[in-house]
């Protein structure tokens, strides 16, 4: 396993991040435990979850499952860089979501209880809250750090200007601020290259791509009929219809390379400047094993050029304003 520093911090994390959204939803508890154990066997030390994950209306269910896995001991907590998120509604009352100081206080205590730990390595805002001032948010987060309940803070689904706004407010308080940003990013969705990636690099914020296979369409969906049937509903079906021509050409190109499409997609993200590591969401132990093949894929300049031709970056390419202006 390869390791890098998370953003500008001294924290070393694996270049693949174990996403847990399927745990307790698609993958039952015994198999989820096996997936997490196998991740550790491969050296994956960075686990990501969220307080709203869980089967059906059971918000918090995935955190509880992870907590039971951690409670087995054997160094599981010590070897895990544990990240969770807050923002989503945990109930029907007005202050059971978003980023008010009150909800932050309640949400962290609930996550700690469900995860059966006394601290979080990374606490992430799942979405920006335009209604809450940064003075309130950072004030609440500062207390959590002083109490030893959270070590680092991050964001998810922020625009570049949100990163700048948040970081400037934190720096004005003499606070460390954000060290990581989770953004949707893949060959099929490159919008963050316009402003999020440049802002993150400027502020030393590590970028953690989610949906690296773009809801499965970059995983060989046309080549594997079984996968095509499974992926023919919901978001994946919409994306596949929109990108069908590109996906067909992409799978043909991957065949020429002698590499699995999913491995190429992950390897491409690993090659991006500013990317800490993509989130993988394995449902099985075999899928954990398979994700490591991405490290064996070498993408030379001609290959990267072809991938750019197959999946062009937004506008003129590169950061704003050159992406859409001179």
What pLDDT sits at residue 227? 46
- Which residues participate in catalysis according to the annotation? 53
pLDDT above 50: residue 64: yes
- Where do the domains of the chain lie? 3-215+260-303
What pLDDT sits at residue 236? 86
What pLDDT sits at residue 232? 46
Average pLDDT along the chain: 95
User: What gap in Å lies between CA 16 and CA 280, rounded to an integer?
Assistant: 7
Cα dihedral across residues 250, 256, 261, 266: positive or negative: negative
Question: 120-147 pLDDT, tens per residue?
Answer: 999 999 999 999 999 999 999 999 999 9
| Nearest CA among 187, 171, 149 for reference residue 278 | 187
Helix and strand counts by DSSP (H, E) for the chain: 11, 10
- The answer to whether the beta carbons of residues 246 and 188 sit under 8 Å apart is yes
Q: What is the CATH number of domain 3-215+260-303?
A: 3.20.20.100
What pLDDT sits at residue 253? 97
Cα dihedral across residues 38, 40, 45, 49: positive or negative: positive
- Summarize the confidence of residues 192-218 as an average pLDDT: 97
Question: 212-252 pLDDT, tens per residue?
Answer: 999 999 999 998 744 444 544 578 888 898 889 999 999 99
- Quick one: pLDDT band at residue 57, thresholds 50, 70, 90? confident
What pLDDT sits at residue 135? 98
What pLDDT sits at residue 162? 98
Paired with 81 in beta bridges are 46
What pLDDT sits at residue 233? 59
- Summarize the confidence of residues 171-194 as an average pLDDT: 98
Phi and psi angles of residue 36, each rounded to the nearest 5 degrees, phi first: -65, -40
User: What gap in Å lies between CA 187 and CA 246, rounded to an integer?
Assistant: 10
């Amino acid at each position: 396993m390869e390791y890098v520093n998370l953003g500008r911090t001294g924290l070393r994390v694996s270049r693949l991040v174990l996403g847990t959204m399927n745990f307790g939803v698609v993958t039952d508890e015994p198999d989820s435990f096996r997936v997490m154990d196998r991740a550790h066997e491969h050296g994956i030390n960075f686990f990501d979850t969220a307080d709203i994950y869980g089967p059906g209306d059971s918000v918090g269910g995935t955190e509880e499952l992870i907590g039971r896995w951690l409670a087995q001991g054997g160094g599981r907590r010590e070897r895990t860089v544990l990240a969770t998120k807050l923002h989503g509604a945990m109930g029907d009352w007005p202050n059971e979501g978003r980023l008010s100081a009150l909800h932050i206080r309640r949400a962290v205590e609930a996550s700690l209880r469900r995860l059966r730990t006394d601290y979080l390595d990374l606490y992430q805002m799942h979405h920006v809250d335009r209604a809450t001032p940064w003075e309130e948010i950072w004030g609440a987060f500062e207390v959590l750090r002083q109490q030893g309940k959270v070590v680092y803070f991050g964001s998810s689904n922020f625009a570049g200007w949100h990163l700048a706004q948040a970081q400037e407010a934190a720096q004005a308080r003499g606070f460390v601020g954000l060290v990581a940003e989770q953004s949707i990013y893949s060959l099929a969705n490159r919008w963050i290259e316009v402003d999020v990636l440049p802002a993150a690099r400027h502020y030393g914020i590590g970028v953690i791509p989610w949906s690296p296979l773009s809801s499965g369409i970059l995983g060989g969906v046309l080549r594997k009929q079984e996968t095509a049937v499974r992926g023919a509903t919901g978001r994946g079906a919409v994306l596949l219809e929109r990108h069908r021509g590109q996906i067909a050409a992409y799978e043909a190109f991957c065949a020429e390379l002698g590499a699995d499409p999913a491995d190429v997609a992950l390897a491409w993200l690993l090659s991006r400047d500013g990317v800490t590591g993509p989130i993988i969401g394995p449902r099985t132990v075999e899928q954990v094993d398979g994700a490591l093949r991405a490290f064996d894929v070498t993408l030379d300049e001609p290959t990267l050029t072809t991938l750019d031709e197959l999946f062009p970056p937004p506008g003129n390419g590169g950061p704003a304003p050159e992406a859409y202006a001179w």
